[in-house]
Structure 1
Amino acid sequence: MTSITHHIPEDLLIAYAAGNLAPAFALAVATHVSMCDECRARLGAHEELGGALIEEEAEAEVSDDLKARVWDALDAPLVPEKTYARSGIFPAPVMEALGGLPPKWKSLGLGVRQMILSYGPTGSARLLYIPGGMGVPDHGHNGLELTLVLQGAFRDETGRYGVGDLEVATGDLEHEPVAEDGPACICLAATDASLRFRSFIPRLLQPIFRI
């Protein structure tokens, strides 16, 4: 496994363990955890702590109607969920988001491509394909952006990000990520708000590409 130096911040890991992350961010965290022994161990610790806290909670009375609905749900036949193993550079959580199929890339110009995995009021998740030596236009953020490297590497004002590294970008970061020479940099990016591009052309195309 490639050495991972940029990990999930503690607050995001706790929110994920509690089930309080928006789906796009939960996908990014789940994918990083599947690649990172350190964060997987940290997540396990938070889950154990959460379980212990629940056990210490006082019992609460519930209505007979609620009990009946719970038992009915438990008696209902289970529909097996499809599970997807890792395929190439794509870990299992990404393969699940892809429905087990290869990405269907859409061109953004200059060799850069994307595939939107989810898009809605709570945020979006997408795969980005950036050829070696190419970059994403200079931009800031109106919210939170998580970018997880699946192949290759990129550099920006905050440092270098290789396979498994997670960049956490907030509203105070303006940067211009550039893929390193060599294999294309493929990333999983999750956002909860639109980006702020400085140049006119990216701003003009932004609604079309839903970035």
Structure 2
Amino acid sequence: MSINHHVSDELLLRYASGELAEGWSLAVATHLALCPSCRQRLAKMETIGGALLENISTGTAPDDAWARMRSRLENAATGVSHPTEGRLSVARAEPILPEPLRSYLGGDIDSLKWRSLGMGAYQIPIRLADTSTIARLLRIPAGKPVPEHGHSGQELTLVLAGSFRDGSDVFARGDLEEADAGLTHQPLASEGEDCICLAVTDAPLKFKSWLVRLIQPVLGI
């Protein structure tokens, strides 16, 4: 597996320092479970941060951010064990969903029940304790586009199976796309395999289609 789109330095630093909301942390931790390169980057940040903390001579003791980060990294160790209308039949030797995402959903792809979004697309909302972000598992039919949309806030999309094209970029398993209010796009799932992604947002998407906007409150996207 070759990962070409990694978590940004800014986001990784915020993850390392324990600043991210739960949804963002889930996306970053799941990417880390699939990406040795970013795990190495995080380890370097930990080393540098630990050295800096050791040199601090002020009276206030540092919080446990580094310990929390180390624990998250250990829990995100790569576990890469197994969907029909509502389910996807894919024979794989390894799980599609790595930890910690698999624990959030209660199992791997074959044990999950999908909710229809229409036009062959499905979703599974992910329960979070922190309501500042919304996380969901998305399944987009092979060869089909996501409705064109912009963003009221930020969005992280992590590919877990299949792939999608966004402009000239292709995102496959392990690739992470970061989008913000400056981006309007229409990702297209590649042919041959449904694209399964973890998507995290902190604000509703801004769809171009009036029909999608009409049913958006029902779909919760």
TM-score (norm 1): 0.84
Alignment partner, residue 65 of structure 1: none
Cα displacement (A) at 1:159: 1.3
State whether residues 33 and 79 of structure 2, in contact with CA within 8 Å, keep that contact through their aligned partners in structure 1.
no
Q: How does 1:60-75 map to 2 (within 5 A)?
A: 60=59
Extract unaligned runs of 5+ from structure 2: 62-74, 82-94
Query: 1:105 and 1:48 mapped to 2: Cα distance?
Result: 41
Q: Closer, same or farther in 2 for the Cα pair 1:21/1:15, shift >3 Å? A: same
Instruction: Provide the secondary structure at the position in 2 that maps to 1:161.
Output: strand
Q: How does 1:131-210 map to 2 (within 5 A)?
A: 131-210=141-220
Structure 1: 4+ residue segments shifted above 4 A = 83-86
Cα displacement (A) at 1:205: 1.4
Extract unaligned runs of 5+ from structure 1: 63-80
Cα displacement (A) at 1:201: 1.4
Alignment partner, residue 69 of structure 1: none
Cα displacement (A) at 1:85: 4.8
State whether residues 84 and 95 of structure 1, in contact with CA within 8 Å, keep that contact through their aligned partners in structure 2.
no
Alignment partner, residue 36 of structure 2: 37
1:169 aligned partner, one-letter code: A
Cα displacement (A) at 1:110: 1.2
State whether residues 156 and 199 of structure 2, in contact with CA within 8 Å, keep that contact through their aligned partners in structure 1.
yes
Cα displacement (A) at 1:140: 0.2
TM-score (norm 2): 0.80
Query: 1:14 and 1:128 mapped to 2: Cα distance?
Result: 27
Cα displacement (A) at 1:158: 4.9
Alignment partner, residue 90 of structure 1: 97
**What RMSD in Å do the two structures reach over aligned CA positions?**
2.1
Alignment partner, residue 139 of structure 2: 129
Alignment partner, residue 89 of structure 2: none
1:11 aligned partner, one-letter code: E
State whether residues 155 and 201 of structure 2, in contact with CA within 8 Å, keep that contact through their aligned partners in structure 1.
yes
Aligned residue among 107, 110, 114 for 1:105: 114
Query: 1:140 and 1:157 mapped to 2: Cα distance?
Result: 14
The aligned length equals 191
Alignment partner, residue 12 of structure 1: 11
Instruction: Provide the secondary structure at the position in 2 that maps to 1:92.
Output: coil
State whether residues 113 and 129 of structure 1, in contact with CA within 8 Å, keep that contact through their aligned partners in structure 2.
yes
Query: 1:24 and 1:61 mapped to 2: Cα distance?
Result: 30
Instruction: Provide the secondary structure at the position in 1 that maps to 2:127.
Output: strand
Cα displacement (A) at 1:24: 0.5
1:136 aligned partner, one-letter code: V
